[in-house]
Structure formats: structure tokens, C-alpha cells
Amino acid sequence: MRLALLAIPAVRSAVALELARDIEYHEEIGSTQDRARELAARGAAPTIVVADEQTAGLGTKGRRWDAPRGTSLLGSWLFRPAPGEAGVFVLLAGVAIARALEGLGAHDVLLKWPNDVELGHKKVAGVLAHATTDGEGGSLVLGIGVNVHQRTSDFSAPLRATATSLAITGTMVDRLSLLAVLSAELDRLAVDSDRSPVLAEWRRRATLLGREVEVTREGAPALRGIARDVAEDGALLVGGERIVAGEVRLVG
């Protein structure tokens, strides 16, 4: 439960100083992402909003992101100015999460376009990005959920086939350490203007590249083809098409 140490003002100040950004800790909140976007709209300085529990956690494509209290790292990082476009920064954040998890003892962390982080071919973390423009470099809010302490019984029956946690895969980590390591990795990528080596690392970790996939997009017929590459802006290249949003699954 070390994350709850952030409720102590002196601890929070020390960690905020170390991470060079404000920290807002909530025992319970609707969604750290909604709160960080509120702060972004008000012009707040770089902040991490972190919570022990969300009552209305947001996933991608309008889905919910649920986690029992105290089991997960649930945080939203407000960057100002925005370090990049949301589409590509979701991929970079995946690399930051993979590096952080491996730095803390996990092995072979893989990435599924666009925002899934996988261990043992199951999802262990996800990323959500919202960007705003304001004529002064704008802001980017990156929401990250990492399954840390869940046991199999904490996942609903249908999720058990596709979701996992660090604990289930044998990596014991405390969430405050993960917050610190991950924040440092995100900052490292945010200040690095040369995206090529990070995208190369993304490609090495990618589960879909070179394989046949089916893409489902709203308002468009399903598309089958080989996932060839990712573009500099984060789009997935499938056959001759650029995919910027959609559901992608392996065929066969």
C-alpha cells in the first residue's frame, strides 16, 4: 500500500521534487484522466494525478477501466508543453512502460498497437492520451493503468483470458516505486527529439508486425492484411492502408 504514503504532505512534496512535477493523490476519484484534463484546461503546471481507486475509470473506445482498490497504478501525467502528438506518444508511452517494468524485474514485455502492454501475451497495462492545443505548445494528458497486485480472481471471468498483472506473472513491485521509475522513463522520452530509436524499440517489441491482422473501424468495412509497420505519427500500416484508430486482432 505504499502509494497511500502520498497522502502524507511531506512524502508527497519529496516525491514531487524528485519527479519534477506536482502530485495530486486521491484515495478515490472518478477518473484521474478527467481530473488531469480539468487541470490541463485550467493551464496547470506539469502534474501527476494518481489514485488508489477509480469509480469511473476510462479505457479506450469508450470502455471502462476497472481495478479493485489498491491493486493498480492508476495515473495521469499532464505534460506542458505537449511532448508530441497523442498518436505517437501513446506508442512511446508503451515503450516507457515496458522499460520501467523490465527495470523492476519483468521479462519480455511486448506491445500491441496502439496502446496495450503485454506480459505472457496478456494485457498488463494500457495507455490513453488526450492532447490540447493552445498556441503555446499545448498539453498532453497521458493516462496509464498498470495491473500490479491483482490475483486471477480479481478479473472477471471473460477478462481472465486476456488480462494479467505483474503479481500473476511473478513480478512483485510496489506502486510508488513503479510510479517513480515510470515517470522518469516518460520524461526521458518526452525530452528526446529523436524518435527513431524509440520507434525502433517499439517495432522490436511489437506483437502484430509482419503478421496477418483484421482491422475493425467504425463506419468502414473490416480490413485484412499484413501489419507492415508503424509510421512516424503512430499510424499502423496494414497492406496499403494507414490505420489511425480501430480494433486490430491477429488472424489465425
Q: Shortest approach of ligand BTN to residue 227 CB, angstroms?
A: 18
Cβ neighbours of residue 229 under 8 Å, at least 6 residues apart? Answer: 203, 209, 236, 237
Q: What sign for the dihedral angle of Cα 190, 192, 196, 199?
A: negative
| Residue of minimal Cβ distance to ligand BTN | 126
Binding of ligand BTN by 59 (CB under 6 A): yes
Binding of ligand BTN by 33 (CB under 6 A): yes
Name which of residues 129 to 158 contact ligand BTN (CB under 6 A).
143-145
Binds ligand BTN by CB under 6 A, chosen from 60, 132, 177, 207: 60
Q: Quick one: which of 180, 208, 183 has its CA closest to 118?
A: 208
Q: Shortest approach of ligand BTN to residue 3 CB, angstroms?
A: 13
Main-chain dihedrals φ then ψ at residue 37, nearest 5 degrees: -70, -35
Binding of ligand BTN by 246 (CB under 6 A): no
User: Residues 180-199: x/- map of binding to ligand BTN (CB under 6 A)?
Assistant: --------------------
Place of cell 529523436: 194
Binds ligand BTN by CB under 6 A, chosen from 65, 77, 89, 155: 65
Binds ligand BTN by CB under 6 A, chosen from 24, 31, 78, 122: 31
Distance of CA 159 to the CA centre of its chain: 18
Could you tell me how many residues of this chain bind ligand BTN (CB under 6 A)? Answer: 20
Q: Hey, is 11 helix, strand or coil?
A: helix
Binding of ligand BTN by 58 (CB under 6 A): yes
Q: What whole-number distance in Å separates Cα of residue 200 and Cα of residue 208? A: 14
Please name the helix (run of DSSP H) or strand (run of DSSP E) that holds residue 80, with its range, or none.
none
Q: What whole-number distance in Å separates Cα of residue 199 and Cα of residue 91? A: 8
Q: Any alpha helices (H) in 131-221, and if so which ranges?
A: 157-160, 175-191, 196-205
Choose the binding region for ligand BTN from 2-10, 69-77, 102-110, 214-222 (rule: CB under 6 A): 69-77
Binds ligand BTN by CB under 6 A, chosen from 54, 139, 164, 165: 54
Q: Quick one: which of 109, 32, 40 has its CA closest to 73?
A: 32
Q: Shortest approach of ligand BTN to residue 4 CB, angstroms?
A: 17
Binding of ligand BTN by 25 (CB under 6 A): no
Residue pair 215/69 in contact by the 8 Å Cβ criterion: no
Residue pair 125/147 in contact by the 8 Å Cβ criterion: yes
Identity of the residue, 99 or 112, whose beta carbon is nearer to ligand BTN in the bound complex: 112
Q: How crowded is the C-beta side of 119, counted as CA atoms within 13 Å?
A: 23
Q: Shortest approach of ligand BTN to residue 142 CB, angstroms?
A: 9
Q: Shortest approach of ligand BTN to residue 233 CB, angstroms?
A: 19
Which residues contribute to the site for ligand BTN (CB under 6 A)?
Answer: 31-33, 54, 57-60, 63, 65, 74-76, 115, 126-128, 143-145
